[in-house]
């Protein structure tokens, strides 16, 4: 007995459907079930109070149709716009016939039409609501016009008691169903509103957390920028100090050159000075930059070569000796230092050894990037020489050592009397 009572109680608790269903489907389920029960109860009451048997039969048919539609929606998961359309068509058919056998406007069909109008407007999609309301209005208007023009079609109540019981039953049902639908729809709206407010509150909290994290991130970025600026300042200051120290060494070498002008060691001191000049130009350019540790090669190569030319150019030579074909390339400092020393050694060698008998000495310096490698080419129109890879001369040894540091390959094309071309790829 208790088990049956629990099953019965569970059925009514889940009458509207599972918790995940939309409110429209829940209202459809409850209204269709309650209409089926009301129509079934009305069938017996109408039979007992002696209403027309057509009304009794139509009430029973309406009960069967309503319960079948409830079953399809609640247990068959067939709720759709098409099912709503079938429901509306069935109601119009059954109530349309019942209207004339149930005392017309003086009967209870009008109540049911008004109640069902409210139900259908709530369960139907927004785009169909005006359409359904229009259909029910036209349906009711047609019934009134038919009654007005064909009063003989109306079957009146047989007694006042019959009319009172029918009206009382229908009105109580109509009030109960309308109340249930409105309360449930309102509760659903309140629940949705609470969910929206809750989500809005969560969004606001997340927004505040994001803003707080953004402030922390910005603070971290500012600190990193300050540290970066400080490090760059230190690097520029370090470069400046290195440059000053190199200039001091060059000044000492200048003093030594002046004291040893007639000494055979003068050329070696000058070569050392030229090598230091190649280094100092790098630090000079680094110190002048706001950011970065790369050197703009066209300016660096030209300034370096002009410095070498100034100290080595023969007095009898007029005009510029060196021509440049340098692409606008920024090169890493470490590579610039090695490359600058290579350029210094090659051009110094050209001035020292290649132009003894040249009337118009000329050097061309080319530097470019071919897509994967850097390419340096230095060509002179000097006397050339017999190249020997095993030559242990200081200048050539330094060039080969620097080439290895660059991870490159050096090729020398030279013949006595035909000038020399140095090719360096790295």
Compute the distance between CA of residue 277 and CA of residue 393 in angstroms, rounded to an integer: 21
Compute the distance between CA of residue 384 and CA of residue 414 in angstroms, rounded to an integer: 5
pLDDT digits (tens, 9 = 90+) for 295-352: 788 888 888 888 778 777 765 567 778 888 999 888 887 788 788 888 888 888 888 8
What average pLDDT is seen over the chain? 78
Least confident of 94-103, 168-177, 390-399: 390-399
Q: With 50 as the cut, is the pLDDT of residue 265 above it?
A: no
Q: What is the pLDDT of residue 52?
A: 79
**According to the CATH classification, is domain 313-426 in 3.40.50.200?**
no
The dihedrals phi and psi of 103, each to the nearest 5 degrees, come to 70, 20
Reported as a pLDDT band with limits 50, 70 and 90, residue 375 is very high
User: What tokens appear for 235 in the block?
Assistant: 């690097």
Where does CATH 3.30.565.10 sit in the chain?
313-426
Q: What is the pLDDT of residue 366?
A: 92
- Going by the DSSP 8-state scheme, the letter that residue 153 receives in this structure is G
Residue showing tokens 């009960």: 63
Compute the distance between CA of residue 267 and CA of residue 254 in angstroms, rounded to an integer: 12
Cβ-based neighbours of 61, under 8 Å, separated by 6 or more: 94
Q: With 70 as the cut, is the pLDDT of residue 390 above it?
A: no
């Amino acid at each position: 007995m208790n088990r049956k009572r629990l099953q019965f109680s569970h059925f009514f608790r889940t009458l509207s459907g599972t918790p995940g269903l939309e409110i429209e489907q829940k209202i459809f389920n409850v209204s269709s079930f309650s209409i089926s029960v009301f129509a079934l109860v009305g069938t017996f009451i109408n039979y007992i109070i002696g209403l027309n048997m057509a009304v009794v039969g139509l009430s029973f048919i309406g009960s069967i149709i309503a319960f079948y539609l409830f079953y399809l929606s609640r247990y068959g998961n067939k709720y759709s716009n098409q099912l709503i359309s079938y429901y509306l068509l069935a109601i119009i058919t059954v109530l349309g016939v019942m209207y004339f056998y149930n005392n017309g406007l003086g009967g209870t069909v009008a109540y049911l039409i008004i109640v069902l109008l409210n139900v259908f407007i709530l369960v139907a999609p927004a785009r169909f609501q005006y359409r359904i309301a229009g259909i029910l209005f036209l349906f009711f208007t047609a019934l009134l016009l038919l009654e007005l023009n064909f009063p003989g079609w109306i079957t009146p109540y047989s007694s006042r008691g019959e009319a009172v019981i029918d009206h009382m039953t229908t009105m109580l049902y109509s009030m109960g169903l309308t109340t249930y639908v409105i309360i449930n729809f309102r509760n659903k709206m309140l629940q949705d509103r609470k969910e929206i407010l809750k989500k809005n509150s969560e969004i606001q909290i997340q927004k505040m957390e994001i803003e707080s994290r953004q402030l922390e991130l910005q603070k971290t970025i500012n600190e990193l920028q300050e540290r970066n600026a400080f490090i760059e300042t230190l690097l520029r200051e370090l470069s400046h100090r290195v440059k000053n120290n190199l200039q001091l060494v060059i000044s000492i070498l200048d003093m030594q050159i002046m004291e040893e002008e007639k000494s055979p060691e003068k050329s070696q001191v000058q070569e050392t000075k030229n090598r230091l000049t190649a280094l100092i130009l790098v630090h000079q350019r680094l110190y002048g930059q706001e950011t970065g540790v790369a050197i703009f090669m066209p300016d660096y190569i030209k300034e370096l070569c002009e410095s070498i030319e100034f100290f080595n150019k023969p007095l009898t030579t007029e005009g510029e000796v060196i021509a440049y074909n340098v692409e606008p390339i920024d090169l890493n400092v470490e590579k610039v230092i090695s490359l600058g020393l290579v350029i210094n050694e090659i051009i110094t060698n050209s001035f020292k050894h290649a132009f003894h008998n040249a009337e118009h000495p000329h050097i061309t310096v080319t530097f470019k990037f071919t897509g994967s490698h850097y390419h340096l080419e230095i060509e002179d129109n000097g006397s050339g020489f017999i190249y020997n890879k095993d030559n242990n001369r200081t200048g050539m040894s330094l060039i080969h050592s620097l080439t290895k540091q660059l991870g490159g390959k050096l090729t020398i094309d030279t013949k006595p009397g035909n000038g020399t071309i140095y090719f360096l790829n790295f």
